[in-house]
């Protein structure tokens, strides 16, 4: 493989590891994973969990430090995640009446997790 392919593969595996860390963080507080890397017409959602009656749509961002991870999230991405979340809600019995929120989970080089809850005000 080329150097670019090796970097891409390394980034892919780093992303999976970050998602695993985030999933463990949520599981520790009782949330249950429903979907990983769910893809709809509007885009992909890294993790979808059930936390009590509420669905939680999680975008995972990994970088060397939390600040850098947070900086990598754009308003356009948040809008895409919100559209994908609405699409997923269409698959639920209660549809748009399903309690939900969108979280951003930041991971740093040490594998620590910082969760920003309800980032879009849902």
How many other C-beta atoms are found inside a 10 Å radius of the C-beta of residue 51?
17
Write down the mean pLDDT value for the chain.
Answer: 91
Least confident of 1-10, 36-45, 100-109: 1-10
Contact 54, 14 (CB under 8 A): no
Report whether pLDDT(61) > 90. Answer: yes
- The pLDDT of residue 98 is 93
- The pLDDT of residue 6 is 82
Query: In the sheet that 43-51 helps form, which strands lie side by side, from edge to edge?
Result: 32-40, 43-51, 54-62, 100-107, 113-116
Residues of the chain with pLDDT > 70: what percent?
97
- The pLDDT of residue 121 is 46
Report whether pLDDT(11) > 80. Answer: no
* pLDDT tens digits, 79-118: 999 999 999 999 999 998 999 999 999 999 898 999 999 9
- The pLDDT of residue 37 is 95
CA distance 121 to 31: 20
Contact 66, 106 (CB under 8 A): yes
Report whether pLDDT(18) > 50. Answer: yes
Residues of the chain with pLDDT > 90: what percent?
73
């Amino acid at each position: 493989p080329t150097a670019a392919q090796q970097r891409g593969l390394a980034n892919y595996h780093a992303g999976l590891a970050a998602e695993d860390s985030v999933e463990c963080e949520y599981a520790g507080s009782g949330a249950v994973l429903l979907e990983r890397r769910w893809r709809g017409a509007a885009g992909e959602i890294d993790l979808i969990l059930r936390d009590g009656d509420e669905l939680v749509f999680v975008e995972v961002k990994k970088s060397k430090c939390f600040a850098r991870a947070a900086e990598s999230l754009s308003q356009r991405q948040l809008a895409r995640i919100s559209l994908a979340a609405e699409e997923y809600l269409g698959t639920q019995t209660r549809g748009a009446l399903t309690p939900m929120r969108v979280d951003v989970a930041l991971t740093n080089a040490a594998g620590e997790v910082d969760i920003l809850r309800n980032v879009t005000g849902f």
